Amino acid sequence: MRRLLVALGLAAVLTGALGLSLSACSTSYPHAGTEILGKSFPRVRGASLDGKEYVLPDAFAGAPVLLLIGYEQDTQFDLDRWLLGLQQAGVQVRTHELPTIPGLVPGLFAGRIDAGMRSGIPKEDWPAVITIYRDGADVARFTGNENRLPGRIVLLDAQGRVAFFHDRGYSVATLQRLQDALAKLR
């Protein structure tokens, strides 16, 4: 009987912890908008799909970098449009996709999630995809994630400060504004 009570107690604790961590995954942070312009990007850790560890924005110090941040799988459509637009316009800037998945539960399944991404991304592109799990809430808090579908397009200057931010989906006019912001950095 005592073993049964201990087992039930442990099951209740684990169920509560799982529920708490699942609710942490769905925390919504308000839209950041232009108030993050000029602010330093939060210091976060991640790993590329080819296994290289990064500390952002430190890893990109000294040159501008464009971060394409996605909070859910369906954001990939928007990020792909950005990548195609950048390529077609001949924009020359180091670019990384940051699948950002806050919460304890996604972190526990990071290996499995990354393996799924690797299966749909050509190996030569793996170094440009840096997944953020443990520090995902810091990124979400910084950019906002109320509407998770459009990507967060963040241009950082050589010191890791935000020089451009957009979170309302791809458009040619917005791409031109990004190019203008990049030209000011050079």
Count of beta carbons in the 10 Å neighbourhood of residue 141: 15
**Could you tell me the pTM of the whole model?**
0.84
- 123-180: per-residue pLDDT in tens? 999 999 999 999 999 999 999 999 888 999 999 999 999 999 999 999 999 999 999 9
3-state DSSP assignment of residue 81: helix
pLDDT at 16 over 80: no
CATH number at residue 76: 3.40.30.10
Contacts of 131 (CB under 8 A, 6+ apart): 46, 47, 48, 49, 98, 99, 100, 101, 110, 113, 114, 117
Residue ranges making up the domain that contains 103: 2-185
Contact 65, 158 (CB under 8 A): no
110 or 41, greater pLDDT: 41
Number of domains in the chain: 1
